[in-house]
């Protein structure tokens, strides 16, 4: 069954949204403002899903996707939409989340941060599968809405050197003794090193190891192996253990990390994000600052260049140990302290034990910082930090926590904006600024904020 549809909007999975006979229809590949012919592929009680058959009236924002795998590969969902329009949709989604979930409205919307639209992804997890009838080993992202693995010859969102590696990587893996027992390859690119972590469900033979070593030498790849769970990850060559790092030149910092550590996928945007976060925090030399969900110190160490003291809290001991080591290496250990704690279970008594903070940065995972927001909202006005900067990877949980900070804690949501960390995807990174008992416009201006331009 097919019919004509007027596309009204776009959801964050890149699907056009229309209505037919009072029912919502999601159309893969359709854009707002378009008149399309679509065929229903799945019917649910509250909505239908449809595939695009024909664009009768195209959107002015439609572009030709540069990737030949677009539409099949699940890695990107918006390459057919002009990049500036992608950012506008994400900004609107953030505003809608504040309105409908948190019942709040920022006093100021910050200019969206954006960077290179391609070659930006320095972290990725490629699926691997041995399929004899398809010629052997497949390496790539999964197909959209499917468990099948894409047979990828190139990928435009990873660095060119990684994209060029996909075909020889596939061919090499197919020669190993048990290619059918290799489920994934994890990519981590540092400023001076590319690491591929091989998940293998069967022990490697001596011949397999020699094959990996030769491949690594030919293509300048450092191999790490994962025979079991995440704790089993180790370098194939022991000397490679400390080769991964990224630099933060604005703060004279080098940040070592392991392939399995959490780091931001987009290094260029990460540097800009740190600049904006510090500018919005407006740290004074006498300030005591908290960095909650601090990871390996991505924000903590830059903040320590300006603050009197920085306290970093994180749920992973491995990450706080890495942050402590990095602080000592940069002679910042006298201004920093890191500890491990489950921040999803904290309360105001714990906050009081930590002592007063002038500024707080919160950078939680997708689940947000519900317990932290409740704890700060329960403090008296004199106990609360003057300013909170919240970096989020999920607008829904940011909006929920913003509602608590504003309606329960009496904070004011001074500003918020989108960070396009993942171009061509529906992923929304954002930043928000809260002030305690502050009225009027945000005191720290952002006119000097800069955004990276697309290469």
CB atoms within 10 A of CB 334: 10
Asked if residue 444 lies in contact with residue 386, where contact means CB atoms within 8 angstroms, the answer is no
Per the annotation, binding residues for [4Fe-4S] cluster are: 67, 73, 76, 155
**Each residue's pLDDT tens digit in the chain (455 positions)?**
788 999 999 888 889 999 998 899 999 999 999 999 999 999 999 999 999 999 999 999 999 999 999 989 999 999 999 999 999 999 999 999 999 999 999 999 999 998 899 999 999 999 999 998 888 899 999 998 889 999 899 999 999 999 999 999 999 999 999 999 999 999 999 999 999 999 999 999 999 999 999 999 999 999 999 999 989 999 999 999 999 999 999 999 999 999 999 999 999 999 999 999 999 999 999 999 999 999 999 999 999 999 999 999 999 999 999 999 999 999 999 999 999 999 999 999 999 999 999 999 999 999 999 999 999 999 998 999 999 999 999 999 999 999 999 999 999 999 999 999 999 999 999 999 999 974 444 454 444 444 443 33
- The Cα 198–Cα 224 span in angstroms is 6
Q: What are the angstrom distances between the C-alpha of 293 and each of 76, 191, 342, 390? A: 28, 24, 9, 11
Segment 57-101, tens digit of pLDDT: 999 999 999 999 998 999 999 999 999 999 999 999 999 999 999
| pTM of this structure | 0.92
Q: Which residue has the tokens 């391609």?
A: 118
Burial of 353 (0-12, 13-18, 19+ CB in 10 A): exposed
Tell me the domains of the chain and their CATH numbers.
Answer: 2-62 (2.40.50.140), 88-116+266-436 (3.40.50.150), 123-242 (2.40.50.1070)
What separation in angstroms does the CA of 72 have from each of 61, 69, 79, 280, 416? Answer: 21, 6, 12, 40, 34
Q: Which residues are catalytic?
A: 393
Q: How far apart are CA 267 and CA 349, in angstroms?
A: 37
Name the binding residues for S-adenosyl-L-methionine.
264, 293, 298, 314, 342, 363
Round to whole Å and give the CA distance between 27 and 29: 6
Residue ranges of the binding site: 67, 73, 76, 155, 264, 293, 298, 314, 342, 363
Q: Where are the alpha helices (DSSP H) in 68-131?
A: 83-97
- Specify the residue for token string 């027992």: 181
Closest to 300 measured CA to CA, from 353, 337, 343, 355: 337
159: Cβ contacts below 8 Å, ≥ 6 apart: 119, 121, 122, 189
Strand partners, 130: 137
């Amino acid at each position: 069954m097919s019919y004509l549809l007027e596309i009204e909007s776009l959801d964050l999975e890149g699907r056009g949204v229309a209505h037919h006979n009072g029912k919502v229809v999601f159309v893969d590949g359709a854009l707002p403002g378009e008149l399309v012919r679509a065929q229903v592929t799945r019917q649910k009680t509250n909505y239908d899903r449809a595939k695009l058959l024909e664009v009768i009236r195209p959107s002015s924002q439609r572009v030709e996707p540069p990737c030949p795998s677009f539409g099949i590969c699940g890695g990107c969902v918006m390459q057919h939409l002009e990049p500036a329009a992608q950012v506008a949709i994400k900004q609107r989604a953030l505003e809608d989340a504040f309105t409908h979930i948190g019942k709040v409205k920022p006093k100021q919307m910050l200019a969206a941060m954006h960077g290179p639209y391609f070659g930006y992804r320095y972290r990725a997890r490629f699926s691997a599968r041995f399929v004899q009838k398809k010629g052997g080993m497949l390496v790539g992202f999964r197909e959209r809405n499917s468990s099948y693995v894409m047979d990828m010859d190139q990928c435009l969102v990873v660095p060119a050197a990684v994209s060029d590696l996909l075909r020889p990587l596939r061919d090499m893996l197919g020669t190993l003794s048990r290619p059918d027992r290799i489920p994934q390859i994890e990519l981590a690119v540092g400023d001076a090193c590319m690491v591929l972590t091989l998940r293998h469900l069967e022990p490697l033979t001596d011949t397999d190891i020699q094959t990996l070593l030769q491949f690594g030498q030919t293509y300048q790849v450092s191999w790490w192996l994962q025979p079991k769970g995440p704790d089993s990850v180790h370098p194939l060559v022991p000397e490679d253990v400390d080769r991964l790092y990224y630099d933060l030149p604005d703060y004279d910092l080098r940040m070592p990390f392991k392939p399995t550590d959490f780091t931001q996928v987009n290094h260029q945007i990460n540097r800009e994000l740190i600049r904006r976060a510090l500018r919005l925090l407006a740290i004074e030399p006498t300030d005591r600052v908290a960095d909650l969900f601090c990871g390996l110190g991505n924000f903590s160490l830059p903040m320590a260049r300006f603050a009197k003291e920085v306290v970093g809290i994180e749920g992973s001991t491995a990450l706080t140990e890495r942050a402590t080591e990095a602080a000592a290496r940069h002679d910042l250990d006298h201004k920093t302290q890191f500890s491990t704690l489950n921040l999803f279970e904290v309360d105001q008594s714990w906050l009081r034990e930590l002592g007063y903070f002038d500024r707080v940065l919160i950078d939680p995972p997708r689940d947000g910082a519900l317990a932290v927001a409740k704890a700060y909202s329960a403090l008296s006005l004199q106990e609360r930090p003057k300013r909170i900067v919240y970096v989020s990877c999920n607008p829904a949980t940011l909006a929920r926590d913003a509602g608590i900070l504003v309606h329960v804690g009496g904070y004011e949501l001074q500003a918020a904006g989108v960070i396009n960390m993942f171009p061509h995807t529906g992923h929304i990174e954002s930043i928000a600024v809260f002030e305690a008992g502050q009225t009027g416009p945000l005191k720290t201006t952002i006119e000097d904020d800069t955004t990276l331009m697309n290469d």
